Amino acid sequence: MSPPSNPAAATTAAKKKTAADVAVKAARDARLTALETAVTAWATKEEARITAEKTFLTSILKGRTGAGRLTAQNTADASKRLVDEIDQFLSR
């Protein structure tokens, strides 16, 4: 590979490329920060919703017979639903 015919032009081009790389990285970092904020907010809301649902279902279980089977089924259903909702959220 031969040296550039105009070293000053090569240096300017390298600086422009570096400035563009910095701008791309800054935009990427901003998107990642926004994603992190959105995921944290979603997780907090989802945790509150699931906790409320758990409390409700627990209160139902206390008034029924066969609570063990119902608990196991509700746990399995809640786990499946949570996994499905997380998959839907991440695929958006």
pLDDT of residue 19: 80
pLDDT of residue 13: 62
- Domain holding 74, by residue range, is 7-91
Domain count of the chain? Answer: 1
Tokens 């959220």 belong to which residue?
89
* pLDDT beneath 50: ranges in the chain: 1
Instruction: Give dist(CA 2, CA 22) in Å, integer.
Output: 28
Query: Is 39 a member of any domain?
Result: yes
Query: Is 51 a member of any domain?
Result: yes
Query: Is 33 a member of any domain?
Result: yes
pLDDT of residue 55: 92
pLDDT of residue 70: 72
pLDDT of residue 10: 59
Query: Is 2 a member of any domain?
Result: no
At 87, which helix (H) or strand (E)? helix 67-91
Query: Is 76 a member of any domain?
Result: yes
Residue 42 phi/psi, 5-degree rounding, is -60, -45
Query: Is 17 a member of any domain?
Result: yes
Query: Is 1 a member of any domain?
Result: no
pLDDT of residue 61: 75
Contact present, 61 and 70 (Cβ < 8 Å): yes
